[in-house]
Amino acid sequence: MINTQIMLIKRAIWYIVGLLLFYAPFALYQKALFGLVNYNKPADIHSLCLRMPLLNLLLGKWSLIVPVVMITLFLFFMFAIIFGPFFCGRLCFAGALPEYLSRLIPDRFKIDWVTGINPIPVRYGFLAGYLITPFLAGSIACAFCNLSFMQRLIDGGFWGEFGVLSSTNIITFFLWIILFGIFTKGGRGFCNFICPIGAVQSLVYSISSRLHFTYKLRFAKDKCISCGACVKACSMGSLQKEPDNSITYQIHNCITCLQCQAACPKNALTYGTGKSGWKDGITLVNNEPSIQESIR
Amino acid sequence: MKEQIKKSLLTLCLFIFMAGITVGSGYYKKSVSSERGSFIIALPAKKDNQEVLLNIAEQGLPKKLIQPNRISISSGHGGGIINRGNESLWVKVQTEGFLGKVQLESKDPSFNHETGVFSRPLKPNQSFNLAVNLTIPKGKLKGHTVTEGNIKLINSKDESLIGNIPVRIINSETDGIEDSTKNNDTNEACH
């Protein structure tokens, strides 16, 4: 319990670092990078958006593809390959906000989407739709972006001026903070279902975690007592306890926040390099009898 | 085996369903795109820019419920006020004729939103972005012509007009008899 609380505080500090790094008026990352490549543009979360660079790429406007975006893209993928969904698990303040807010609401008011709907086809379906949409109806990148709305909240001092909102902004806020946020178990429904950044990172992580040198959530089967503490702590619902007491792990929506590691009383879950320890490497089902059952 | 096939089919259906929803949301976004006005202007302009016409009746339901009276007319993220001349321009923004509160915004660090002045020059082939945000009194939304005004771009060195963007906001749901602009509540920003 104490470990869980400490982990929550540690993560909150990381997310605040994320806020300082990427959001105006701080935007320390952008300012440092802009200084490095002598790029004279306003520094806020929009300056990292890939919408315009990808559009320029598709239209063949190579000269408009700025080094800032290329460097960011490179770092994003390198971190995802080596450390897993590092951005989601450590730095994404927009993802953390509804999670922490949802902790203030009693569980009986929250919907457990993940047990009813498999989030994996939904999040990859969204990613596929997100990539197809520009060719059919125009990009939805800005219209439904929670990171952009986060910048609005910061600009307006959280309780102040949100600026002029469009219908899509209002829908985004409702889904991100209200329906899939504070009224969702774990508070990360938006991350689970409709975040293209998270989906790309998960895709990369699901492949890179097969490599020995990369960091991943590891499982020590011999230490697990199937107590379910990790399942309760997992805000993404990527760990589930099956009726046969086995613990299943879905790597495609794990953000390696390591809240499960802190909650595990037997240190059966750790984050590090080497073998993952989950059955089948990626399908990741621990359906062997637990120690508790063996003792019985 | 049968169970496995059923599970795979369900997964595929969910995937296609969500991809479809996402594409649908793109069309929805397109259908409400007229909630925001947009413009691009090449400076120095010899004549008035094309009029920005916005229809409040075309707002989406969420906008109508939450914030129908707040309207943004912007040049977009990527710039929009472009210097096509050979010399640097010192740009100042002024608005005239709009009802209610007018706020000016730009992501350019040199922009003073109170005075409307860009403190750095706009060099040839470079661009500034600008958003003009209007807060129209709610009671004034019923007239056919809700408000009309101009966004003026002025050379702050000699105060000459180098660009003008006429803006008209209408509400086609009304019968056109009442005209909100016929009163003295007009505000001008950045003098």
Model confidence pLDDT, tens digit, residues A39-49: 777 788 888 88
Q: Does A122 touch chain B (CB under 8 A)?
A: yes
With contacts defined as CB-CB under 8 Å, which chain B residues touch A61? none
> What span, in angstroms and rounded, lies between the C-alpha atoms of A10 and A83?
17
**Sign, CA torsion B80/B81/B86/B87:** negative
The closest of A99, A84, A92, A11 to A48, measured between CA atoms, is A92
The reported pLDDT for the residue numbered A161 is 76
Q: Test B35 with A170 for CB contact under 8 angstroms.
A: no
Answer for the pair B147, B169: CB distance below 8 angstroms, yes or no: yes
Instruction: Give SS3 for B67.
Output: coil
Pick the CATH number of B35-187 from 2.60.40, 1.10.3720, 1.20.950, 3.60.21: 2.60.40
The reported pLDDT for the residue numbered A282 is 45
- Domain A212-295: give its CATH architecture: 2-Layer Sandwich (3.30)
pLDDT in tens, A52-67: 666 666 666 666 566 7
Mean pLDDT for chain A overall? 88
> What span, in angstroms and rounded, lies between the C-alpha atoms of A198 and A185?
18
The reported pLDDT for the residue numbered A293 is 46
Whether residue B44 is preceded by a cis peptide bond, meaning omega within 30 degrees of 0, is yes
With contacts defined as CB-CB under 8 Å, which chain A residues touch B62? 167, 170-171, 174
**pLDDT-above-90 percentage for chain A:** 68
Å between B77 CA and nearest CA of chain A: 8
With contacts defined as CB-CB under 8 Å, which chain A residues touch B36? 164, 166
* Statement: residue A233 has pLDDT above 50: yes
Å between B161 CA and nearest CA of chain A: 26
Q: Test A144 with B29 for CB contact under 8 angstroms.
A: yes
What residues in chain B have per-residue pLDDT under 70? 77-78, 175-191
With contacts defined as CB-CB under 8 Å, which chain B residues touch A164? 36, 67, 70-72, 131, 133
The reported pLDDT for the residue numbered A283 is 47
> What span, in angstroms and rounded, lies between the C-alpha atoms of A200 and A188?
16
Residues β-bridged to residue A219: A269
The H-or-E segment that residue B58 falls in is none
Q: Does A193 touch chain B (CB under 8 A)?
A: yes
Q: Test B29 with A163 for CB contact under 8 angstroms.
A: no
pLDDT in tens, A96-147: 999 999 999 999 999 999 988 999 999 999 999 999 998 899 889 889 999 9
Answer for the pair A14, A90: CB distance below 8 angstroms, yes or no: yes
Complex ipTM tops 0.95: no
* Statement: residue A243 has pLDDT above 90: no
Task: Name the residue with higher pLDDT: A192 or A284.
Answer: A192
The reported pLDDT for the residue numbered A289 is 47
How far is CA A181 from each of CA A186, A190, A192, B145, rounded to the nearest angstrom? 8, 7, 11, 40
Q: Test B18 with A122 for CB contact under 8 angstroms.
A: yes
Average pLDDT over residues A169-191: 97
Size of interface A-B (CB pairs under 8 A): 119
Å between A127 CA and nearest CA of chain B: 7
Give the confidence band of A36 by pLDDT, cuts at 50, 70, 90. confident
3-state secondary structure chain A: CHHHHHHHHHHHHHHHHHHHHHCCCCCHHHHHHHHHHCCCCCCCHHHHCCHHHHHHHHCCCHHHCCHHHHHHHHHHHHHHHHHCCHHHHHHCHHHHHHHHHHCCCCHHHCECHHHHCCHHHHHHHHHHHHHHHHHHCCCCCCCCCHHHHHHHHHHCCCCCCCCCCCHHHHHHHHHHHHHHHHCECCCCHHHHHHCHHHHHHHHHHHHHCCCCCCCEEEECHHHCCCCCHHHHHCCCCCEEECCCCCEEECHHHCCCCCHHHHHCCCCCEEEECCCCCCCCCCCCEECCCCHHHHHC
The reported pLDDT for the residue numbered A264 is 96
The reported pLDDT for the residue numbered A53 is 67
Of A39-48, A244-253, A274-283, B164-173, which gets the smallest average pLDDT? A274-283
